Amino acid sequence: MQARASAARAAARAGVRMQTLGPTARSVACERFLCEVWRTDPDRPPIPADVITAIADAGNYVVGALDETDGLLAAAIGLWGPPGRPVMHSHIAGVHAAARGRDVGFALKLDQRAHALENGGAQITWTFDPLVARNAHFNLRKLAGTADEYLVDHYGRLSDGVNGTDDSDRLLLRWDLLAAPVRAACDEGVRRVPAVPTPRARLIADGDRPVPCPADDETVLVAVPADIEDLRRRDPAAARDWRLAVRDALGGLLADGARLVDFDRSAGGYVLTRGER
C-alpha cells in the first residue's frame, strides 16, 4: 500500500519508529509526555493514563514516535467516528520541542493516515489554534489539509501552559486522505501552492499588535503573530487582541463563504479567496 510505504520512508528519514502506546506502561509514558508538551502539572494531565489505555482498548489510534533510545518524541491519539462514517478525529497530537525540525510530526501523521486507510477510513479531522503559525503551515501547506469552519472558544478555558488564559478558538481541519493534493504531499513530497492572485492584507501586524485593513479584494491575507506562545508570555493583552482580531477577520470571512486556500509562511498569514469554490 502506497500510504504505508510513504509512512515508512518518512519514519526512516526522521529517525523514529512508531509504537502503540495502549498497554499500561506505555500509556503512563504517554501521559507524562503530554504533560511535558502541554506544560501541565503531573496531577492534571491532558489525558490520564487509564483513559489512554481505554481509548486504545476500544480500537482507536494511540501511537508514539520513538527514537533509537526508545525516548518518546511525539504522540497522537485519534478516535473513530460513528458507525458507517469512515472518519477519524485526531483529538491530540504533539511533538517534543527538542525534536522539532526533524519532520517527526510529519512521519507520525503519515503513519496515522496509513492506519486510517488500512481500516477503511477516508478522512481525518482535527482542530488547531489559528494563531499558531507553525501548525497552520504544517496542516495547510505541508499536509495539504483544508479548513472551512472557525470554532469560537470550542473547548472553553484550557488549564495548560500552552494556551494560558486565552479563549480556545479553533479551525476544524479536514484531511481527505486520498485527495490529489494530499497524495502529492504525502506520497510524492510535492507541496502544491494554489495559483491565486497576490493577496491584499485584511489584517497585518504592527509590532506585536494586529491592525485591520480595509482590503475587499477577491484574495486576501489574514496575518497571525510569528510566535503566539511567546507573545502570551510577554504581553497577554496583545495576545488577546490578536485572538479577537483573527476571530473577526478569519472567522468572519469563512462565515461569509470565503475559501481558505493556503498559509503563506513568508507573508505570515492565511490566504483566502472569495471567488467560486
- 36 and 93 in one domain? yes
Mean pLDDT of 9-29: 94
Residue 216 reports pLDDT greater than 90? no
> Percent of the chain at pLDDT above 70?
99
Question: Is 194 part of any domain?
Answer: no
The mean pLDDT value of the chain amounts to: 94
- 155 and 22 in one domain? yes
Residue after which a domain boundary falls, among 139, 165, 188: 188
Domain range for 131: 2-188
pLDDT in tens, 32-70: 999 999 999 999 999 999 999 999 999 999 999 999 999
- 205 and 178 in one domain? no
Strand partners, 166: none
Task: Specify the 3-state DSSP secondary structure of 53.
Answer: helix
- The pLDDT of residue 277 is 46
Strands (E), the chain: 17-20, 61-66, 72-80, 87-95, 123-128, 146-151, 170-176, 200-206, 209-212, 219-223, 259-264, 269-273
Question: Is 101 part of any domain?
Answer: yes
Count of domains for the chain: 2
Helix (H) or strand (E) holding 237: helix 236-246
Identity of the amino acid at 166: D
Residue after which a domain boundary falls, among 188, 220, 247: 188
Residue after which a domain boundary falls, among 188, 215, 242: 188
- 162 and 86 in one domain? yes
pLDDT in tens, 85-143: 899 999 999 999 989 899 999 999 999 999 999 999 999 999 999 999 999 999 999 99
